[in-house]
Structure 1
Amino acid sequence: MHRRHDLDTLRIAAFALLILYHAAMAYVAGWDFHLKSTYTSEWLQWPMIALNRWRMPLLFAISGIALGLSLPDRGRLQHTLRRSWRLLLPLVFGIVAVVSLQAYCEALDKGDVAPGLGHFLWRYWQFRPWPGAHFSGAAYGFTWNHLWYLAYLLPYTVLAVVLASLLRPLRRALPRWQPGDRLLGTLLLALPVAWLAWSLLVLMPRWPPTHALLDDVYVHAESLPLFLGGFLAARWQRGWDLLVRGRRVTLALAVLGLCLELGIRALARLPHVGDLDAWVLALPWAQTERVGRALYTWCMLLTLFGWARVLLVRPWHGLNYCREAVFSWYILHQTVLIVLLYALRPLQLGPWLEPVLLVAGTISGCLLIHELLIRRSRWLRPLFGLRADPPASPIARAATAR
C-alpha cells in the first residue's frame, strides 16, 4: 500500500504543535503546569482551548489509522509484539532517563528536595512514593508526564488487534449494509458528537482526567473510540471520500462548535445586567458549552483529515527526515523545555524575550540532541522509538543501486 503523506504531515504537525502548546502552558494564567513562568497572561486561555480540544484526539486517531494500515493479514502476533516493544522501550527509558529531569526541576521549584541531581535520581530510581512531596508522580514514586500517550497506546494497540482477529470471521458472515451517502454522513457526524457530549456531561465530572491509565475513565472514553475508529476506517475508501466531499460542511460545523464553547465561556465572565440576569442563569449554559465542545472536537478532526487528503497528498522536501525525527522530538521536547525554563526564569528577561528564547531553545535542543546523538547511535535509536538501523542516505541508495 502506498505511503499516506497526508497522515504523515498531520502527525508531524500535531507533534510540532506540542512544543508551542507546552511552552504556552508555562504562561497561561490560571492553568496548572509542572513549572510556571512569572509572566502569565489570561488571554492565552482562548487559543489554548481552541488547540487543546483536538490535538490529542488527532494523535490517537492517527495512531489507530497507522495500525490499521500496517496490520498484516498474517503474522499479526509478531507485528503486534514489535509495535508494542517500540512503544514500551521508549516509555520506560523516558520515565527513567528523560522525564526524571522534569521531576527534578519541578521538585526543586516546589521545595520538595534539596539541590543535587545525583541524589534526587538515586532516590527517584527506587520507584518509591515520596511522602509529603508535591511534584507530579510523587504519590507513585515516578512519573511519565507527557509520555502518558505512549502508555495508553500500548493497551489500545493490543486490544485493537485482538478484537480485529476475533471479529474477522463474524465480519465475513454478517450481511453488508450500504446506506446512502447522506444517511451515512449524518450518522458519522451525529453519533460521535453524541458520545463525546455524553462523556463530557456524565463521565468527566465524576472522573476528571488523571493520565494515570488505570483510573482515567473520561480520557479512555474519549481516546479509545477515536483510536479504534481510526483503526477500522484506515482502509475504508468510501469514508475518506466522504471526508473530502464534506470538508467544507465539517469546517463550518467546527467553527460553530468553537463559537458555542468560547462564546458561552466569554458570556459567563460578563457581569449580569438587570432582567437579563435571571434569563441567563435559567439557561443550561454548561450543557450547551460542552455540546459545543464535542461538536468542535469531532468536526475539527473530520475537517483536518478531509483537507489534508486534498492538500497534503504529495511528499515535501524534508518529510522523510521529519517523519523519523518526530518521535524522538516528542520524547525530548518537554524535558528540554522545563529545564530551559528553570534556567531562564531567574534572569527576568521579560514577557516577550523569555518565551521566544524558550521556544527557540527547545527547538534547537531537540534538533541537536536528535541529530548529533540519537540519529547517529545504533543503541540510542530504539530508546527513542526509532529502528536500530538508520535509513540510508540518498547518496548511499544511489551507490547501492549501481
Structure 2
Amino acid sequence: MLVMFKNLKSGFQFLLSTWQQVFSQTATPPTRRYDLDWLRVLAFGLLIFYHSGMLYSQNWGFHFKSQYLSQCVENAMLLLSPWRMALIWFISGAALRFIVARLSFSHFIISRSIQILLPLLVGVWLVVPVQLYAEMSQKSGLNLGFWRFYQAFFDLSHPIFANNQAGIWPHVDVNHLWYLRSLWQFTLLLVLILPLLHFSKVQALIARLCELSPLIIFIVLLLPLCVLKLNWPSETFRYPMGALFLLYGYLLAWQSGFYSQLQRHWRALLVMFVLGYVLVVLGYHFIWQDPKASQWQTTSMDMLYTVQRLLGVMLMLALAQRFLNRDHPMLSKLNGAVFPFYILHQSMIIGLAFWLTPLQLGPLWEPVVIISVTFMSCWLFYEIMRRRDILCPLFGIKPRQEYSAKQRRVVSWIGLLLISPLVVELLT
C-alpha cells in the first residue's frame, strides 16, 4: 500500500510539473484578436433573437410558448441553429488559449472556476426561477403568485416541485446556463490533456494542416463531428459537440494560416453556406417533419446539418477576419456586457412573454416589445452592476478598479468558499 501511495504521489507530481511547464511557456501570443472579440459579442447577442424565436416556434420545445405560434419562424431560426453554439464554443476555446499563455497553473484553475461558477451559482438561484415559474404556470396550471413560488423554490423538498426534480439540486436546474456548467467541466478536461496538445509534434502537425487547402481543412474538422453525430444520442449531442469545438478553438487560436485561408475564400464559404441553408430548410420540412421518412433519409439530413454547422462557424470566422478585425471604442464595453446579458436574457424573455400574454399584443408587437425590453433591461442592469465593484464577480463583470495582491487573495478565498457546494455537485 505504501509503495502504491508513493507511485501515485510521484505520478501526480510528474503531471503537476508537466502542467506547470505548459503554463510557464514563454511563447509570445499573437496580437489582440478583435475579430474574435466582435464575434463573441455578436454570437451572444444573437441568442436574444434566437430564444425569442423559440417562444413562437410551432414544433420546437421550449420552457414557455406564446399564443402566436408559427412554423415560418422556424425557417429563419434554421439560419442560426446549426452553428450558433458551435461558434460560441470555438471562441471559448480560442479565449482559453490566450488565458493559458498569461496565467500560472494554479491561478488559471482558481480564477476560471470563480469566473464561471460564481455567475452560474447566482444564476440558478436568482435568475432561472422566473423560467420555472412561467413553465409550471403554463404546463401544469400552477396557481401561485411569483413571490410565494420563489419562497417555495428555496425549499428543496417542497411538494409543488415533485415533477421537476432534474437539476444540480432537486428542481434547481441550469436551464440556459448549461453552457457555463459545461464550460467549467470542459475546461478541466482540457487542462488534463494540455501536455499532449502542447507536444511539439502535435503543434507541428496542426501548423502543417493549416497550410493545406481549405477543403482538406474542412474535411479533417468535419470527420470527428460526423463520427460523433452517428454514435451519440441526439438529445445530448450538444455536449460532445461543444467539447470538440472548444478543442478546435484552442488548437487553432494561434494558427494565422488557418484564418488567412478562411479570409481568402470567404466568398466560396458564403455561397456554400447559402446553398446549405436552402437544403437544410427543405430537408427539415420534407424529412425531419415527415414521420414516414426512412432511416437513411434521416441520417443523410443529420449529416447535412452537421456540415452546415461547421460551414457556419468557418464562414463567421472568415467574415469576421475580413470585416471586423479592428478595434472600436465600444468593443471593450460590449465584451464586458456579454456575461450579464447571457445570464439574464432568457429569463427576461420568458418572464416578459408570460406577463404580456394577457395583453394580447398580437404576433408583431409582442416579439418587438419582448426583444426591445430585453436588450434595454440587460444593458441597464449591466450599467448598474459594473459601477459596483463588489457585485461585479457575481455576474462575470470585470471590476473597474484593479485589486491589490492582498485583495485578490481575499476575493479568491471568498469566491472559492461560495462555489464549493456547486463544485461538489458538479464533480459527483
When residues 121 and 18 of structure 1 are mapped into structure 2, their CA distance, relative to the original with a 3 A threshold, is: same
Structure 2 match to 1:366: 378
Structure 2 match to 1:276: none
Q: What is the SS of the residue equivalent to 2:81?
A: helix
Structure 2 match to 1:158: 188
Structure 2 match to 1:234: 253
When residues 266 and 103 of structure 1 are mapped into structure 2, their CA distance, relative to the original with a 3 A threshold, is: closer
Alignment of 1:233-272 (within 5 A): 233-268=252-287
Structure 2 match to 1:336: 348
When residues 160 and 368 of structure 1 are mapped into structure 2, their CA distance, relative to the original with a 3 A threshold, is: same
From 28, 37, 43, the counterpart of 1:14: 43
The CA deviation at 1:371 is: 1.5
The CA deviation at 1:63 is: 0.3
Structure 1 match to 2:17: none
Q: Report the Cα distance in structure 2 between the residues aligned to 1:79 and 1:334, rounded to whole angstroms.
A: 29
Q: Report the Cα distance in structure 1 between the residues aligned to 2:224 and 2:142, rounded to whole angstroms.
A: 44
Q: Report the Cα distance in structure 1 between the residues aligned to 2:224 and 2:147, rounded to whole angstroms.
A: 47
State the identity as a percent. 30
From 157, 178, 184, the counterpart of 1:148: 178
The CA deviation at 1:375 is: 1.5
Structure 2 match to 1:193: 222
Q: Report the Cα distance in structure 2 between the residues aligned to 1:159 and 1:261, rounded to whole angstroms.
A: 33
When residues 4 and 27 of structure 1 are mapped into structure 2, their CA distance, relative to the original with a 3 A threshold, is: same
TM-score between the two structures when normalised by the length of structure 2: 0.79
Structure 1 match to 2:138: 109
**Please, which moves more after superposition, 309-318 or 144-153?**
309-318
Q: Is residue 387 from structure 1 mapped to residue 398 from structure 2 by the alignment?
A: yes
From 65, 79, 83, the counterpart of 2:94: 65
When residues 181 and 268 of structure 1 are mapped into structure 2, their CA distance, relative to the original with a 3 A threshold, is: closer
**Please, which moves more after superposition, 120-129 or 38-47?**
120-129
Q: Report the Cα distance in structure 2 between the residues aligned to 1:346 and 1:270, rounded to whole angstroms.
A: 31
When residues 128 and 52 of structure 1 are mapped into structure 2, their CA distance, relative to the original with a 3 A threshold, is: farther
Structure 2 match to 1:274: none
Give unpaired runs (5+ residues) of structure 1.
210-215, 272-279, 392-402
Alignment of 1:71-110 (within 5 A): 71-72=100-101, 75-110=104-139
From 172, 175, 181, the counterpart of 2:200: 172
Q: What is the SS of the residue equivalent to 1:301?
A: helix
Q: Report the Cα distance in structure 2 between the residues aligned to 1:138 and 1:160, rounded to whole angstroms.
A: 22
Q: What is the SS of the residue equivalent to 1:351?
A: helix
The CA deviation at 1:263 is: 2.2
Q: Which amino acid aligns with 1:64?
A: G
RMSD between superposed Cα atoms in Å: 2.8
Q: Report the Cα distance in structure 2 between the residues aligned to 1:117 and 1:181, rounded to whole angstroms.
A: 54
Q: Which amino acid aligns with 2:122?
A: F
Q: What is the SS of the residue equivalent to 2:227?
A: helix
**Please, which moves more after superposition, 184-193 or 290-299?**
184-193
Q: Report the Cα distance in structure 2 between the residues aligned to 1:107 and 1:63, rounded to whole angstroms.
A: 33
Q: Report the Cα distance in structure 2 between the residues aligned to 1:175 and 1:232, rounded to whole angstroms.
A: 8
Q: Which amino acid aligns with 2:54?
A: M
Structure with bigger RCO (C-alpha 8 Å, 6+ apart)? 2
Q: Residue deviations 1:63-103, cap 9 Å, x none?
A: 00001122126612212320121000000110011111221
Q: Is residue 29 from structure 1 mapped to residue 48 from structure 2 by the alignment?
A: no
Q: Which amino acid aligns with 1:160?
A: L
Q: Which amino acid aligns with 2:298?
A: A
Structure 2 match to 1:400: none
8 Å Cα contact 2:33/2:325 also seen in 1? yes
Structure 2 match to 1:352: 364
8 Å Cα contact 2:386/2:392 also seen in 1? yes
Structure 1 match to 2:307: 295
From 329, 335, 340, the counterpart of 1:323: 335
8 Å Cα contact 1:247/1:307 also seen in 2? yes
When residues 29 and 176 of structure 1 are mapped into structure 2, their CA distance, relative to the original with a 3 A threshold, is: closer
The CA deviation at 1:158 is: 1.8
Q: Report the Cα distance in structure 1 between the residues aligned to 2:325 and 2:75, rounded to whole angstroms.
A: 31
Q: Report the Cα distance in structure 2 between the residues aligned to 1:66 and 1:309, rounded to whole angstroms.
A: 16
Q: Which amino acid aligns with 1:241?
A: S
The CA deviation at 1:343 is: 1.1
TM-score between the two structures when normalised by the length of structure 1: 0.84
8 Å Cα contact 2:340/2:382 also seen in 1? yes
Size of the aligned set, in residue pairs, is 370
Q: Report the Cα distance in structure 2 between the residues aligned to 1:45 and 1:174, rounded to whole angstroms.
A: 41
Q: Report the Cα distance in structure 1 between the residues aligned to 2:386 and 2:52, rounded to whole angstroms.
A: 25
Q: What is the SS of the residue equivalent to 2:60?
A: coil
Structure 2 match to 1:51: 80
